[in-house]
Amino acid sequence: MKVALLGFGTVGVGVYGMLDGAYGLEQGPVLVRPGKDDSSFKVTEIEKIVNDPSVGAVAEVMGGIEPAFSYVSAALAAGKHVVTSNKALVAAHGPELAELAEKNNVAFLFSAACGGGVPFLHNLALATESDKILSVGGILNGTTNYMLDAMQRRGMDYGDALKDAQRLGYAEADPTADVSGLDALRKIMLACAVAYDQLPAEGLHNEGIESLTAADVAHFKARGLTCRLLASGGLSDEGRVYAFVEPVLLPASAAECAVLDNFNLARYQGENSGAIILIGQGAGRWPTASAVVRDLSCILQGQRTMMQAGCPRVKADNSACSRVYYVRLPARFEDMLPLKEAEKDGDLLRAVTEPMPVSAMHEAAAKLRQAGAEVFFAAMGE
């Protein structure tokens, strides 16, 4: 099968290199922006790909929502299979694209969009056929895991750790989505869509690591705790989906603490299987390219879908989960949270809350910030 590429950045160059005839997959044309360069395999108009009868599949690795959405729609409408590593696109338009794929009898697969090289969504989709999935989640962003690990083990400061993650090709073009937790949130949205046939699209919460300081990390380290950015999704007792991302402080015995550098840890809890944990590189050229090629290979084996066509969008209920939180905030704002224990550190308070709903903590942090407070918070364990 000849595969055309949309985009030729970190992941695209990797995928192109892997389409060497092995696994029944061959190099096709590559769509680049006009003026980039004029190598014979590069084209600058999408029509040259969608109207090329020799192209069987399109791998979208350009990122962003537009023009990716228009191009992928055109490819599916033209009867090309599509695989994508673009979580922003699938989180925003997955249900329509899955519907268009079904209508045109072609595949729409996106396992590279969640977990990088980790075969998470494939295993999750398989698990739904024989087990009830109680929860999904884990470390789903390689950039922030790399940064948290570099700050904890190598004493790096936030800015240097981010620059390193960018240099190594882990971060998004605009790393705001990584450090704010939005990238991991999009990934947990996809995992929920695969596990529950519902795409949580409203009522979501993401707290990243932007306000984490070297002093916070030293404070955790002195107490034997490690900070990880965890995504969580699942079904509440009332059957409503929850989905959120937040920093979590974990004891050294937690599996997540052994997940270093750009690695991800993706997990699901099956009613019968119990906890299933997959660990691997969640970002970077070759791990992500391997996932794109794996999806293409699954198409050759007959797989067509990961998300139900027209999968309904639902409002998440993050009040269903409760956590105790560690919070660092200016001491004068202490009345704005239900604090149980607090320790003064100059003008700051390092405090632990009473158990509170996830949504309430995220909303309280937003109010504190509106009032001018610099706040960092993390759940104390999951």
Which residues are designated catalytic? 187
Instruction: Report the residue number, 141 or 308, with the smaller CB distance to ligand HSE.
Output: 141
Smallest gap from Cβ 341 to ligand HSE, in A, equals 34
Among 141, 281, 318, 359, binds ligand HSE (CB under 6 A): 141
Question: Nearest Cα to 366, choosing from 345, 346, 337?
Answer: 337
Q: Which of residues 112-131 bind ligand HSE (CB under 6 A)?
A: 116
Smallest gap from Cβ 183 to ligand HSE, in A, equals 5
Cα–Cα distance measured from residue 294 to residue 85, given in angstroms and rounded to the nearest whole number: 12
Among 108, 170, 196, 376, binds ligand HSE (CB under 6 A): 170
Type of residue numbered 192:
C
Among 84, 107, 119, 183, binds ligand HSE (CB under 6 A): 183
Structure tokens at 261: 């550098």
* Contact call for residues 51 and 26 (beta carbons, < 8 A): no
- 324: enclosing H helix or E strand: none
Q: How many CB atoms lie within 10 A of CB 70?
A: 11
**Distance, C-alpha 353 to centroid of its chain:** 28
Type of residue numbered 334:
E
Smallest gap from Cβ 282 to ligand HSE, in A, equals 5
Structure tokens at 17: 């290199």
Instruction: Report the residue number, 135 or 143, with the smaller CB distance to ligand HSE.
Output: 143
* Contact call for residues 113 and 85 (beta carbons, < 8 A): yes
Residues 6+ apart with CB under 8 A from 291: 85, 111, 112, 115, 116, 117, 118, 119
Instruction: Report the residue number, 279 or 351, with the smaller CB distance to ligand HSE.
Output: 279
Residue 12 touching ligand HSE (CB under 6 A):
no
Q: Which of residues 270-299 bind ligand HSE (CB under 6 A)?
A: 282-283, 288
- Residue of minimal Cβ distance to ligand HSE: 143
DSSP state of 51: T
Instruction: Report the residue number, 172 or 317, with the smaller CB distance to ligand HSE.
Output: 172
Among 171, 193, 299, 361, binds ligand HSE (CB under 6 A): 171
Q: List the end-to-end C-alpha distance of the chain, in Å, as a whole number.
A: 44
Instruction: Report the residue number, 170 or 326, with the smaller CB distance to ligand HSE.
Output: 170
- Per CB under 6 A, residues contacting ligand HSE are 116, 141-143, 170-172, 178, 183, 282-283, 288
